[in-house]
């Protein structure tokens, strides 16, 4: 029997109901824009986005469409294309709850969940404004030293991790290469869904040259094929991003009307390349 749980993109979106705590990767690490476009057409609402550790156009689209209630992140921007318009409007208008964090704090929380620990200890946010807005983080004295405060970051366990990768095999293993934050997301989450460029017959874990960059099937809940599914973002080893499209989105999304027109056009054209 084929152990791969091969799904459609619609199946994946159906596994992300309203209220889901959804972990998403940063713009260069395999963003599933294919699943994002399907989410925009769904009835899903009140998502809690966990950005690992930052977010861009993907999160901005979801926020602009009214799907998001909470954003846990260290930043949301369109990089060279400027600020994230829908995110900025939502924050200024009080439409989303912000859980401020730093990159190390987010990774620490996910790593604690991966290890089954209730928290992880870090130092970098001591003295920052982050602590003022995160009462769930606690400063304690290092029990192994004197006058040495540390911050306890609670374990962060998303309901679903969602990302795009180059390939999966028939056994359900997924190639993620050197993007180990994707593995951290998957290890910490209750479920992980991946869109991929292709499904290959080769046993990826059985290939000694590839195995170090493979997410084992044990941590993969389902896979859907979506060629060029990260576009307009890049995919490591497969294709470059399309900055012109990101700039076009940034310009359109400056107004709610422009955002709505962009999404409608994308749906009509089913743009993926």
Q: pTM to 2 decimals? A: 0.95
Structural domains of the chain in order of their starting residue, each with its CATH number = 6-104+157-263 (3.40.1080.10), 119-154 (no CATH)
C-alpha 192/C-alpha 123 separation (Å) is 30
On the question of pLDDT at 270 being above 90, the answer is: no
HSE-CB for 235 with a 13 A CA cutoff: 27
Say what the pLDDT of residue 273 is: 41
Say what the pLDDT of residue 174 is: 98
pLDDT tens digits for range 88-147: 999 999 999 999 999 999 999 999 999 999 999 999 999 999 999 999 999 999 999 999
Say what the pLDDT of residue 3 is: 79
2 confidence band (pLDDT: 50, 70, 90):
low
Q: What percent of the chain has pLDDT over 90?
A: 95
pLDDT tens digits for range 144-179: 999 999 999 999 999 999 999 999 999 999 999 999
On the question of pLDDT at 54 being above 80, the answer is: yes
66 confidence band (pLDDT: 50, 70, 90):
very high
Say what the pLDDT of residue 266 is: 84
C-alpha 173/C-alpha 161 separation (Å) is 15
Instruction: Please tell me what DSSP assigns to residue 218.
Output: G
Residue 184: name the closest of 270, 241, 113 by CA. Answer: 113
267 confidence band (pLDDT: 50, 70, 90):
confident
Q: What percent of the chain has pLDDT over 70?
A: 97
């Amino acid at each position: 029997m084929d152990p791969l749980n091969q799904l459609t993109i619609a199946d994946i979106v159906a596994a992300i109901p309203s209220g889901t705590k959804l972990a998403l990767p940063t713009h260069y690490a395999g963003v599933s824009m294919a699943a994002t476009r399907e989410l925009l057409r769904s009835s899903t609402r009140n998502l809690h986005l966990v950005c690992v550790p930052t977010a861009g156009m993907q999160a901005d689209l979801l926020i602009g469409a009214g799907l998001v209630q909470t954003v846990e992140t260290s930043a949301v921007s369109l990089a060279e294309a400027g600020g994230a318009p829908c995110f900025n409007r939502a924050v200024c208008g009080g439409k989303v709850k912000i859980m401020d964090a730093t990159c190390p704090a987010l990774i620490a929380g996910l790593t604690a969940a991966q290890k089954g620990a209730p928290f992880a200890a870090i130092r970098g946010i001591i003295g920052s404004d982050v602590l003022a807005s995160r009462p769930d983080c606690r400063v304690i004295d290092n029990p192994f030293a004197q006058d040495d405060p540390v911050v306890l970051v609670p374990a962060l366990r998303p309901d679903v991790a969602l990302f795009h990768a180059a390939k999966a095999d028939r056994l359900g293993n997924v190639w993620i290469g050197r993007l180990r934050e994707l593995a951290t997301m998957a290890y910490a989450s209750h479920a992980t869904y991946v869109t991929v460029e292709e499904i290959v017959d080769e046993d990826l874990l059985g290939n000694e040259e590839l195995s170090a960059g493979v997410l084992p099937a044990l941590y993969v809940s389902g896979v859907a094929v979506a060629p060029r599914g990260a576009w307009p973002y890049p995919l490591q080893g497969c294709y470059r991003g399309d900055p012109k499209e990101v700039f076009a989105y940034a310009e359109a999304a400056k107004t709610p009307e422009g955002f709505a027109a962009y999404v409608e056009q994308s749906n009509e054209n089913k743009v993926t390349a």
